[in-house]
Structure 1
Amino acid sequence: MTVAVQLYGEDNPVLVEGLAARGATVLEIPLYEWALPEDEAPLVRLVQELVDGRIDVVAFTSSPQIKHLTVVAERIGLRDQLLKALRERAMVAVVGPVCEAALREHDITPRIRADKGTMGALVHRIADYLTQEEHVHGGA
């Protein structure tokens, strides 16, 4: 039996090996690939601003975003500082359990989670959270 597996930007060795172990011939179909942009300057700036405490909320919608941000931070020598900022200072918002699991691999617990796996739901949750924070803390 041949099984076609659509890859979602990254390899999925657990799935592929599991199917192969059960006798399937696995045809991997990469539909797209997550890659760092040619111009990493915006990511470098984001890392620096997170480390410097100039960003209050950061939203992640996919696990490759987390991977790429930490790769760039490592390249510029700020990986540990970035992770500390995400753990202790910035309000981290997330869409979906896969993205949240990627954050937890770095011991980062998101404070804001979308009710549904959409960008719109995440934006609403961020707005709700910030509105509640403003009421609790009396605004800025």
Structure 2
Amino acid sequence: MINFREITRENFDDCLFLEVTEEQEDFVASTTFSLAESKIFTENIPLAIYDGDIMVGFIMYGLDPDDNEYWLSRLLIDQKHQKNGHGRQAVEKFLTMITEKYQLKKVLLSFEPENKVAEKLYLSLGFKHTGKIIDDELVLEYIF
């Protein structure tokens, strides 16, 4: 069962050592970078993804002050835990959590166009292409 937990002193090291495969490194920022970014851009909320008591990934979201929209800005499943449905379960859990917490009408995300696995996952969960490109990444939206 997937659940989200805050990054704390107790799980910080585990979070730092989450890694994607070498082929995926250009598709998602490291947890080290993401945690540093969340300290400067405090609207970003980083969370560890757990399957029971095992950390399997990292997710970060937040309200973008430029467009006043909520964005899923990071999703990373550790290479040792990929292909087990954790990414799908994490996004489903995220969508449920964010609507309950903020009563949103939509949420946005962007991804590298070469990341066909991510695109397939997001589209299968109901995200739609917006036609927008930000920093060479394709933008998708999920309408609640």
Shorter-chain TM-score range = 0.3 to 0.5
Q: Which has the higher contact order (CA 8 A, sep 6+)?
A: 2
Greater gyration radius: 1
Structure that is richer in strand per residue: 2
Structure that is richer in helix per residue: 1
